[in-house]
Amino acid sequence: MKFFFLIIIIIFSVSQLKALEPEPMAINATFNGYVLDSATNETLVGATVAFKGTKLGTYTNKSGYFSITNIIPGDYTIIVSYLGYEKKILKIKFGERESVRREIKLKHDGIKTQEISVEAEREVEKREITISKVNVPIEQLKEIRIGGESDVFRSLQFLPGVLTSSQISSGLYIRGGSPDQNLILVDGSVVYNPTHLFGFISTFNSDAIKDVELIKGGFPAEYGGRLSSVLNLTQKDGNQNNIDGTVSLGALSSKASLEGPLFNGSWFISGRRTYLEIIKAFIPDDPTSPLPDFHFYDLNVKISQNFGSNDKLFISGFMSADALAMDGYGMNMSLDIGNQLLSTKWTHIFGDNLFTVLNFSYSKYKNRFFGDQSGYEFLIDNNITDYTVKGSVEWFTSDVLTTKFGFESTKYTFGYLQNFTGDADSTSPGSNGGTLNLLVDDWNHSLFGQLNYRVFDLLSLQGGLRVNYWMQRNLVTLEPRIALRYQFQENIALKAAWGIYHQNLRLATMPDFSFFDTWLPTDSTVPASKSNHYIFSIETNPVEGYDLNFDVYYKTMNNINEINMNSLEGSTVSDVFYIGNAESYGVEVFLQKKFGNFTGWFGYSLGYIYAKFPQINNGNEFRPKYDRRHDLKLVLQYKLNDEWEFGGSFTFQSGQSYTGATSRFQSRLIDQNYGRGKIFPSQRFGLRLPPSHQLNISASYSFTTFGLPSKLILDVYNVYNRRDIWFRYYNTQKEETNVEDVRLLPILPSISYELKF
């Protein structure tokens, strides 16, 4: 560890001395600015800015900003490119000490044929380090539809190393980590419950998202608080030139978005809602088998304003809610789940090469479960409220060095109410569990610093350190991170990364049902969770237009949790969870084509996950339920012409693990002839279900409605009607024990209609 810090200090010191040399830096120029969509003035994230015939170049950051320093005075040809947009070539002459700032506007191409941008991107990639980062354009993700819905989370499930608990779950299990170990950000603010409909659909409307960044491991020091991965979503800013919108009518839900100019900026609003309760009104009511009332909605809002050439202000809002009610089977119950998010972000440019971001955010997740069984009422109410302020400074120090440092401070409030008195309004203890009302406050403070340094033309280094302080535990943790990139050959790059990560939050949930998730802090009774990432990657370009990547990873996870299903009451976190350790390792193969009329990817992952808890499986090692071992994904999209587009996706995975049974015994009272059957479980998750596989296809036809662009989309989910097993259980209601399977959805064709105006 000391050696690591010594290396970072030496490299940083040398780079600073080099960056401050009076010659030739004293006379060199700077080029900076924003890359925008010419039609909307929307900033483009990840656009490439490259100086032809030189080693100068960069990508735009999350705000669409770029800065290139140490430009020797002279005439240059600059290539600016972005997927789906026409490349732009600039001829600029730089004088001594000149600072040139431009807003570069790219015209949308309409088709994915920007092969020419590959050249510029590869030159820039040689100087960038992106370990285990997956870059799939949002336009491609939106074309993957499930039940007629394009969904960001479900699209990401088609990437290697990203697993789910079942085909109807949108929770992401990434390289052996559980969904609560993923840091999910929307415009830099944390979202705690990212799913609708018990996990079948995520809360993120794809029409409101302009950039999706998934880092599956080895993420840099600017991100913290989670063990496994980072999913960073950026919402659209809105059209600064014209008012336009989109309406989509689907089988499951409908959605609409509208955007337009506002003063010196723009506004954007998008909403989505189901109408299952309307459909239910046309179905005859069966008192013996009542259908539940269910609906959800989500709403995205964003306002952007430019204050001069150096300052931008963004106000983002996000809201989602699920409501379920059922009256039947002798029970009246209701479930309400919701997210609320409000954030304000200010960006400021100091000089030519200093970019700053300051973000204030409020995030709240709440769920409420009420039941009334024959007059006996019970209530569970849980919420987590998060107030965060964070800031960062990105310093484009020189053409070989970029540094970034910042802070983050969060106030958490955890609320938990449990009432089993029989009277939901009662606040006094009862005879059957009574009430439990907890309100816990916690603070988390973090500092981070990181640098990207090109040691020489073929070798780049990224180093960083994050320091965290958690008030509830009075705990300080250090998280060093380091990554290397070596350009082995023209089309082959070698990468490696190592890092330490900690997590203070814990989620009590069931893997099969995203029904009632409860967030809890790490109190004094349990240690903080910790993981170590070790990653080695090979990136290649075997054929023009194709990227082929290999990732090998090993990850340790200490002090992680499994919910204690035997606990009936408790006042500490250790009463709710079992605490143990786990490790995961594997290899991933990813072949991707992002350009042209024919696009898509192939992914394969071989992964191993093992966990060990003293109180589970007699203290012996076991594989978790979501261990899949073999995971194969294929996604293909083809644009036939301006009217027709076709798409398909196929998955094949090892079956889920489940716990078998060795024997059964009958429990009954003395005066009863027949009682209740109970089974003795075998090794925890020691058996596997049959492999699961599924094919989905879609076709879209573009036309005009009253002169407005329109699209008709046909989607067929589970084409050959393979009903995989959701879970397997042992039915002991009869004298003979039966092994029964609960199966997943059959073939589901759907049709939707989109209209742009």
Q: Torsions phi, psi of 207, nearest 5?
A: -70, -20
Looking at mean pLDDT, say which of 198-212, 422-436, 530-544 comes out highest: 530-544
Question: What value does the mean pLDDT take over residues 588-594?
Answer: 93
- Delineate the domains of the chain, giving CATH numbers in brackets: 22-116 (2.60.40.1120), 133-231 (2.170.130.10), 232-756 (2.40.170.20)
DSSP structural state of residue 433: S
Condensed to tens digits (0 to 9), the pLDDT of residues 537-553 reads 999 999 888 999 999 99
Extended beta strands in 198-310, E state: 201-202, 209-215, 229-235, 244-249, 253-262, 265-274, 293-307
For residues 340 and 688, give the distance between their C-alpha atoms in angstroms, rounded to a whole number.
Answer: 39
The per-residue pLDDT for 200 is 66
- One-letter identity of residue 587: V
User: What's the whole-number mean pLDDT along residues 283-287?
Assistant: 67
What does pTM read for this prediction?
A: 0.90
* 367 burial type by CB count under 10 A (0-12 exposed, 13-18 middle, 19+ buried): buried
Which has the minimum average pLDDT: 83-92, 287-296, 607-616? 287-296
With cut-offs at 50, 70 and 90, classify the pLDDT of residue 294.
confident
Compute the distance between CA of residue 427 and CA of residue 421 in angstroms, rounded to an integer.
Answer: 9
Q: Percentage of residues in the chain with pLDDT exceeding 90?
A: 48
pLDDT, mean of residues 174-193:
90
Phi-psi region of 559 (alpha: psi -120 to 50; beta: other; left: phi over 0): left
Q: Kindly report, residue by residue over 385-422, the tens digit of the pLDDT.
A: 999 999 999 999 888 899 999 999 999 998 877 777 77
Asked if pLDDT for residue 192 goes beyond 70, the answer is yes
pLDDT tens profile 559-581? 998 877 665 566 677 777 889 99
Q: What's the Rg (C-alpha) of the chain?
A: 27
Average pLDDT over residues 192-217: 82
Q: What is the arithmetic mean of pLDDT over 627-631? A: 91
